[in-house]
Amino acid sequence: MGFEDSSMSSPGGRNEGYREKMPTKKSNAKFSNVLDIAVILFSVLTAITVFGFITVFLIQPNSFTSSISVHSCAEPPIRREWRSLKTHEREEYLSAVKCLYNASSELVGKGSIIDDFTWVHIRAVKAAHDYAAFLPWHRMLLHIYEQKLRQHCGFKGQLPYWDWTSDWQNLTESSIWDDEHGFGGESTHYTYGSCVSGPFSHVELRYGGNGSVSPHCLSRVFTNYDSGEVGSMSGELIRPEMMGRLARSKDYARFRWVIESVIHNIIHTEVVGDLDTEVAPNDPIFWLHHVQLDRLWWLWQREAPQQRLHDYKQHASEPPRQTSLGDMLHYGGLAEGVKVGQVMETENSLLCYKYT
């Protein structure tokens, strides 16, 4: 299904952030034996609400279930951590990203290419979140984003990731927020809609926190999930020990639940502003955060490739149905749809990359 349905012609939905989707003991009791991490998480997380955003089915079933052949690439380039890049490499990436904020929309006729990604993400909120498709759908979205950087802005490098485990003891002081060599810090006033500092302080974004057309500047309000303290973030749930427990997940269903419901959501929840809503791609940190999540999946797959490169067994939607590597992932006109099986492996002719 595409976006031709007139009922989907404009974004909408409640301004409900990732905080409301963090798991609770009651709603996720079936995962109590997943990892030791769950015991800690359940003691600090609050109530989950119904996930009620306007969506479009971007994941479609397909009867194809046999193995999917995707040719390998000879020398896949390496995606590296932001701080390992040379100064000129960081500058080139920042320049290309700023360029996309100024490149004209290809989908909705108004706004920028960044607005196009946000527009698609709004409609994928339910189809590409909370279910099996979360990791493969975002893996392909990252690839599309990288291609747009190349096509429109002449970017020649690779997408970087932010390894927040290196900053877990003091997330707010990470160099990622540097105004000159990073992505800027939080908003100048601790309110949603107040502009961030740094290189993205003057970008104009088309879609606001409830998914409606609401031009505004990029906003961040660092907020500690545990204490509610503004200007602070807790890194307890992303410390290296937790990544070790995640890596010991026995199957995809368990791995996906922990990495999305806990590790993914906590960064969105604590950065707040645009990143804590369905318009999260408004914030350039969205991409570095999701590249890191993709990297963790890649590392987990590499531990047992014969099993994990094809492990995609989990109910995909409501009403439940079994997932398939032949399920189609769609991107609303940003790029052609692909089968899940085409993006399970990164070192192929479609994606062609690996990580350090």
DSSP state of 264: I
pLDDT tier, 71 (very low <50, low <70, confident <90, very high otherwise): low
pLDDT score recorded for residue 68: 40
Element spanning 59, H or E: strand 59-60
DSSP 318-340: SS--B--TT-EE--TTSS--EEG
Highest average pLDDT, of 53-57, 158-162, 209-213, 323-327, comes from: 158-162
Nearest to 277 by CA among 325, 338, 323, 216: 216
What's the rounded Cα separation, in Å, for the pair 146 and 290? 13
Dig out the tokens for 174 from the structure. Answer: 């990470």
Position 33 pLDDT exceeds 50: no
Position 287 pLDDT exceeds 50: yes
pLDDT score recorded for residue 173: 96
pLDDT score recorded for residue 29: 36
Mean pLDDT value of segment 69-78: 80
Q: Give first-to-last CA distance, the chain, whole Å.
A: 37
Report which residue type is found at 235: G
Domains detected in the chain: 6-355 (1.10.1280.10)
Position 136 pLDDT exceeds 80: yes
Position 121 pLDDT exceeds 50: yes
The string of pLDDT tens digits covering residues 217-268 is 999 999 999 999 999 999 999 999 999 999 999 999 999 999 999 999 999 9
Q: What global pTM score does this model have? A: 0.83
